[in-house]
Chain A
Amino acid sequence: MLRYTAMTLLRMVVTFFVIVTLVFFATRLSGNPIDFVIGQGITEEDRVLLTRYYGLDGSVWTQYLSYLRAFTDGQFGLSFLERRPVAEIVAERIWPSAQLLLTSIALTMVVSIPAGILAAIYRKGWVGSAVMTVAFLGYAVPNFVLATFMVLIFSYVLNWLPVVGNGTARHFVMPTLALSAGLIAALTRFTRNAMLDVLEQDYMRTARAKGLPERLVILKHGLRNASITVLSVLGLQVAALAAAGSVVVESIFAWPGIGDMLVRAALTRDYPVLQFGVLTVAIAVITINTAVDLAYAWADPRLRQTGRT
């Protein structure tokens, strides 16, 4: 277990380093960002001044070193547009993003796990097909189309819900639904497949044979064994899906989170913000994935010996 943990952590650190390096070189290879942001009509003198102000002078390697130094002293640079530290901008936006994410994950679990179990038990009946059809729709409908339709119906036609912002509980309804739809579809499928695997096991037959009521058989013997798989999927898939989803959903509903910030930074070419934002989210996702990986190995000893498949 110690060896597995060490290898997993090592892999995580290497991935961090590769991503940090790639992000740096990709940004610098595209030329001096000042030229994109300021454009024409700037004297050469000012250009040099600005270049120095944002730490873009010197050779690529000195820039790379000072960029890496930011990870020890926390100076990640200034936003081109807002002229204040990017770390501050990102920090402000973490909590709204986390709020939206937590409500979405809560909703996802409440809906998907029962739905997945039902779909597994009644897989040949209409309940199973109904659940799977809804799950299919949830993942075939792009979240921005879903969000657009919801805004049209609930805000403009029925006048029930506000379109932008995160002021009240009512502001949460549409963004949460738009973000959850894809997650619910994914987790329902995984829960169903995990339950189907478990339902075929011998110990399920034993549990029934010894006379346990069906409800106990399913919940205690079935769900408990399936839950490890389900939770690991929740960690692995959901982290990536949610990161991609919040970019779109937050941007549509002007939710003041990281996703909205990333899209704004990309549209205005605010490199420092975009760079730091992308790194923050990437590192968060990788950390979550590693944590899930370790938790999974800890819960299921079979994995430690064979390594990851």
Chain B
Amino acid sequence: MAVIETPRDPEWIMALRHLWADATPVQRFALILGLVLVLLAVATPLLAPFDPNGQSLLSRLRPPLGFERSKAEYLLGTDELGRDLLSRCLYGLRLTLTLAALGSVIGLCIGGTLGVLAGVAGGRTETAIMAAVDTQIAVPFTLIALFLLTILGNSIEVMVFVLSLDGWEKYARILRGETRRLMQMPFIEAARAAGATPLRIARHHLLPNLASPIVVQFTLSFSSIILLESTLSFLGLGVQPPTATLGAMVGAGRDYMPTQPWIVLAPAVLILIVTFAVQTLGDWLRDRADVRLRPR
């Protein structure tokens, strides 16, 4: 007689299912929107009909489909150099999301390590790390970014570095607090009494408990990094032309706004969609994690 085992879903799938169950329609919509955007960004090379930097001066400044003078192959029209706006928007979205993801992951690695270190080590290490955190919090980050981009020049590597600096201090502050709180819990003391090494305590006892604040902070910092990247690129200080990011496209298209508004509108609307999805998801996760806000 065969024993039939009912397959049990892994814990994280259960958690996701639970999350989905008590989401509002807007939050569900934002989640689907976010997934679609990520898919678009991943599949950009397959989807984009043209080379994003390919110029075709004969068909410059064509309006989107449906307007007078539009050309069937340019769905969203073309810009001042005859580049296809749809392709540029897709590549721009791809680069914007990639930069934000890289920046958030590096920021998490730096800030997370320093925060946990400060929480575990205490003493002078903690004082030094927290002094660095306080200094960075004291200065608006846009200023730091402007300054660094000027002295280091504008390359993609510098951009990733600058973006990763925005947010490390938040991870450090939050994880230090959480670590300190956890270190005083009886189960950590029990593990230590049982002879667990500090590394084992960190891996098996601290990290699982830090996962939730990390996820929440990651979503929040991802959205603030997208904003920062588009703002810097918009001002002409981020990724340099001809490479397309959404912010840079809005910035560069401003000169044509009175007569060819679609050059600005296409990327601007896409930025709105991206920030809406990301911010809604960030708010949702934070509200769920923040016990103080939950009953409201």
- A18 contacts chain B at the CB level, 8 A cutoff: yes
Chain B residue at minimal CB-CB distance from A182: B227
Contacting residues, chain B, for A105 (C-beta < 8 A): none
Evaluate whether A140 and B138 lie within 8 angstroms (CB atoms) in the complex, with A148-B268, A149-B268, A278-B146 already known.
Answer: no
Q: Are A145 and B138 closer than 8 Å at their CB atoms?
A: no
Chain B residue at minimal CB-CB distance from A196: B296
Q: Are A286 and B139 closer than 8 Å at their CB atoms?
A: yes
Query: What separation, in Å, do the CA atoms of A139 and B143 have in the docked complex?
Result: 20
- A101 contacts chain B at the CB level, 8 A cutoff: no
Contacting residues, chain A, for B236 (C-beta < 8 A): 267
Query: What separation, in Å, do the CA atoms of A269 and B140 have in the docked complex?
Result: 20
B75 nearest CB across to chain A (Å): 21
Chain A residue at minimal CB-CB distance from B26: A133
Chain B residue at minimal CB-CB distance from A143: B231
Contacting residues, chain A, for B69 (C-beta < 8 A): none
Q: Which of B135, B237, B250 contacts A263 (CB 8 A)?
A: B237
* Binary contact readout B233-273 vs A (1 if CB under 8 angstroms, 0 otherwise): 01111000000000100110010011001001100100110
Q: Are B271 and A139 closer than 8 Å at their CB atoms?
A: no
B168 nearest CB across to chain A (Å): 15
A111 nearest CB across to chain B (Å): 20
Number of interface residues of B (CB under 8 A): 41
Q: Which of B59-67, B82-90, B149-157 lines the interface with chain A?
A: B149-157
Contacting residues, chain A, for B235 (C-beta < 8 A): 144, 247-248, 251, 263, 266-267
Q: Which of A22-30, A89-97, A170-178 lines the interface with chain B?
A: A22-30
* Binary contact readout A265-309 vs B (1 if CB under 8 angstroms, 0 otherwise): 111010100110010011001100100000000000000000000
- A81 contacts chain B at the CB level, 8 A cutoff: no
A147 nearest CB across to chain B (Å): 10
Residues of chain B from 206 to 253 with CB closer than 8 A to chain A in the complex: 227, 230-231, 234-237, 247, 250-251
Contacting residues, chain B, for A136 (C-beta < 8 A): 279-280, 283
- B106 contacts chain A at the CB level, 8 A cutoff: no
Q: Are B257 and A289 closer than 8 Å at their CB atoms?
A: no
Contacting residues, chain B, for A1 (C-beta < 8 A): none
Evaluate whether A141 and B275 lie within 8 angstroms (CB atoms) in the complex, with A30-B152, A267-B237, A282-B139 already known.
Answer: yes
A6 nearest CB across to chain B (Å): 17
- A142 contacts chain B at the CB level, 8 A cutoff: yes
Query: What separation, in Å, do the CA atoms of A144 and B271 have in the docked complex?
Result: 11
Contacting residues, chain B, for A286 (C-beta < 8 A): 138-139
- A13 contacts chain B at the CB level, 8 A cutoff: no
Query: What separation, in Å, do the CA atoms of A248 and B150 have in the docked complex?
Result: 16
Q: Are B250 and A148 closer than 8 Å at their CB atoms?
A: yes
- A243 contacts chain B at the CB level, 8 A cutoff: yes
Q: Are A144 and B250 closer than 8 Å at their CB atoms?
A: yes
B5 nearest CB across to chain A (Å): 46
Q: Are A289 and B234 closer than 8 Å at their CB atoms?
A: no
Chain A residue at minimal CB-CB distance from B144: A278
Evaluate whether A26 and B141 lie within 8 angstroms (CB atoms) in the complex, with A148-B268, A152-B264 already known.
Answer: no
Evaluate whether A18 and B135 lie within 8 angstroms (CB atoms) in the complex, with A140-B275, A244-B140, A263-B235 already known.
Answer: yes
Residues of chain A from 162 to 195 with CB closer than 8 A to chain B in the complex: none
- A221 contacts chain B at the CB level, 8 A cutoff: no
Contacting residues, chain A, for B148 (C-beta < 8 A): 26
Query: What separation, in Å, do the CA atoms of A244 and B134 have in the docked complex?
Result: 18
B262 nearest CB across to chain A (Å): 11
Q: Are A151 and B257 closer than 8 Å at their CB atoms?
A: yes
Query: What separation, in Å, do the CA atoms of A136 and B27 have in the docked complex?
Result: 13
- B125 contacts chain A at the CB level, 8 A cutoff: no
Q: Which of B134, B140, B152, B247 contacts A285 (CB 8 A)?
A: B140
- A15 contacts chain B at the CB level, 8 A cutoff: yes
Give me 16 other A-B pairs in contact (C-beta within 8 A), A19-B138, A140-B275 excluded: A11-B134, A15-B134, A26-B147, A26-B148, A30-B152, A140-B279, A144-B231, A156-B261, A243-B143, A244-B143, A262-B146, A263-B235, A266-B237, A274-B147, A286-B138, A289-B138
Closest 4 CB pairs of A and B: A244-B142, A30-B151, A140-B279, A243-B140
